[in-house]
Structure 1
Amino acid sequence: MFRRAGRGVRSRIRVIAQSKSSKSKHVTGDGGGPILDRRRYRVSGPRLNDKVAIVFGAGSIGEGWGNGKAAAAAYARAGAKVVAVDLNGAAADATRDIILSEGHEAIAVAADTTRLEDVQRSVEAALAAFGRIDILHNNVGITSQGGPVETSEETWDRVMTVNVKSMFLTCKAVLPVMEAQAAGAVINIGALGGVRWTGYAYCAYAASKGAVNSFTQSIALQYAGKGIRANCILPGVMDTPHIYKQISGFYQDDEAMVAARHKMSPTGRMGDGWDVAHAAVFLASDEARYVNGVELFVDGGMHARCN
């Protein structure tokens, strides 16, 4: 048995010996192709060390961890300095205080991301505090129930303004900073509902999240040659404070909502804000340096189902 495997064993020994003695960054395997020197890709220390992340929508609308709040904390734990921006100043402060209590750096800004002057003020605060912006995280968003007949024109406009215009304005303010640095990562939070029917009649929300996908890809291609990447995360059914405020109306009560949403996922459970946050940390890191223009589903596999 050992003799049969001997040739393979000798080959592996030869490759190991070559990798130890080779002065080049690659060694050659039996097939003639390069074997990557893993030392070039080893992560040393926190993944986002010395980077600065500005998170729009970094607060939470209730107790617990929303997607934006978790992302802000996750960025900090990965080594980034964080600018926590939220319409609710107290919510932004709460996120900042958690980050500071864990020994990381952060500031908080109260701002309305549908107003360019507020967005610019947030960017100026980030630059004044930390000198650069490496990560732009867009988490601001609202939902509304109803199809085209039930949805008012005012509601439609409001959803589009909050969910799409806000991203346009943050990119308008932050991309010049990243372009001057020749580096940056944009992470936009879309939704599975932007590309799939999820059982909810919320046409304005679905349309807005579909727009987020197209907007993200447009940025990704326009700025790819300038050291800037843009990607979109599409969460599925998530257990966050948001659903108790804006989705529970679809159900008899909160318990019925939670049970029904658990059943919607192939995994048998909803995800949470940390599932989105961990995906965001990866997309923001140098490990994702060749990941650009993607729609990353964080949905337990819901997008792959036909039913």
Structure 2
Amino acid sequence: MSGRLTGKHALITAAGAGIGRATALAFAQAGAKVCATDIDGEALDSLAAEHASIATSKLDVTRPDDIKALVQASGPFDVLFNCAGFVHAGTILDTDDASWRRSFTINVDSMFHLCKAVLPDMLERGKGSIINMSSVASSIKGVPNRFAYGATKAAVIGLTRSIASDFVARGVRCNAICPGTVKTPSLGDRVRALGGDEAANWQRFIERQPMGRLGEPEEIAALALYLASDESAFTTGTVHVVDGGWSN
């Protein structure tokens, strides 16, 4: 269905690759004006070349002042998709203070600052959709060696539901997406970091999926598009699991 986001202005983080990139393209193709952000300038340049409705801006989501400046310069926004994230591997015993803090700074604090920055304009206009990236890993389903990551993604669910409850009567919706294992460049980096036989490492990820395959970024983007659109006007405070049955 074309035109699903016509007239909407969307802000997307981590739009240079993977789910963020697929979502930026899906939003633009559905009629939205997209502000795509990432720390990778080259990735943003290639993204902007793919669709005329995508404007790009380099953004480090760990810098609150930069977030405020971007929203003031480029807003107001009808849609915010918080997609930026960091995956730390290890149990609690493998997690030092620096890794714990980095996980929360990127995965949770960034959402706090972005939501806080876009909300005033959304509330003034009485409409808006915020979509937060959580994960099945550890926040929904116990997954080994994802202690810090799982803790942050559980926090994202709490953040999402709190915002949804606080502003449900003022036209602003807030929902979370919990993907399973999706074939993205960042997953590829983690697979290669395991060492050994790369093909065998990929196969181990695939074998734990009941469907016998990994998810595709476009499949997550399709859900984000629904949540951004007016089709989901009666949906807020929800946690959408899209994991190919992994958490069943």
Whether the TM-score (by the shorter chain) exceeds 0.5 is: yes
Matched, 1:236 2:180: yes
1-structure distance, mates of 2:94, 2:206: 27
Matched, 1:221 2:165: yes
Distance apart, 1:93 and its partner CA: 2.3
- Residue matched to 1:24: none
Q: How many residues of Structure 1 are paired with residues of Structure 2 in the alignment?
A: 247
- Residue matched to 2:21: 69
2-structure distance, mates of 1:247, 1:230: 32
- Residue matched to 1:178: 122
Q: What amino acid is aligned across from residue 77 of structure 1 in structure 2?
A: Q
- Residue matched to 2:109: 165
Matches within 5 A, 1:101-250: 105-127=53-75, 132-193=76-137, 194-198=139-143, 200-250=144-194
- 1:302 aligns to what SS in structure 2? coil
Cα deviation 1:235-257 (Å, max 9, x = unaligned): 00111101112354346333122
Cα deviation 1:125-176 (Å, max 9, x = unaligned): 322xxxx311000001011111111111111110110000000010010011
**TM-score under structure 2 length normalisation:** 0.95
Matched, 1:266 2:218: no
- Residue matched to 2:39: 87
- Residue matched to 2:238: 294
Following TM superposition, the consecutive aligned residue runs of length 4 or more in structure 1 with deviations greater than 6 angstroms are none
2-structure distance, mates of 1:171, 1:84: 16
Summarize the Cα distance change of 1:251–1:195 in structure 2 as closer, same or farther, 3 Å threshold: farther
- 1:98 aligns to what SS in structure 2? coil
The answer on whether the counterparts of 2:135 and 2:177 sit within 8 Å (CA) in structure 1 is yes
Q: What amino acid is aligned across from residue 113 of structure 1 in structure 2?
A: V
- 2:111 aligns to what SS in structure 1? helix
- Residue matched to 1:59: 16
The answer on whether the counterparts of 2:24 and 2:54 sit within 8 Å (CA) in structure 1 is no
| Higher RCO (CA 8 Å, separation ≥ 6 residues) | 2
The answer on whether the counterparts of 1:89 and 1:111 sit within 8 Å (CA) in structure 2 is no
Q: What amino acid is aligned across from residue 174 of structure 1 in structure 2?
A: V
Distance apart, 1:212 and its partner CA: 0.5
Cα deviation 1:177-214 (Å, max 9, x = unaligned): 1111110000001100122123x302110100010011
- 2:237 aligns to what SS in structure 1? coil
2-structure distance, mates of 1:178, 1:224: 12
Q: What amino acid is aligned across from residue 112 of structure 1 in structure 2?
A: D
The answer on whether the counterparts of 1:244 and 1:254 sit within 8 Å (CA) in structure 2 is no
The answer on whether the counterparts of 1:137 and 1:186 sit within 8 Å (CA) in structure 2 is yes
2-structure distance, mates of 1:267, 1:302: 8
The answer on whether the counterparts of 2:191 and 2:202 sit within 8 Å (CA) in structure 1 is no
Q: What amino acid is aligned across from residue 265 of structure 1 in structure 2?
A: Q
The structure number with the bigger radius of gyration is: 1
Q: What amino acid is aligned across from residue 92 of structure 2 in structure 1?
A: P
- 2:175 aligns to what SS in structure 1? strand
CA root-mean-square deviation: 1.4
Q: Which runs of 5+ in 2 are unaligned?
A: none
Q: Which runs of 5+ in 1 are unaligned?
A: 1-42, 61-65
The answer on whether the counterparts of 1:144 and 1:246 sit within 8 Å (CA) in structure 2 is no
Percent of paired sites with the same residue: 36
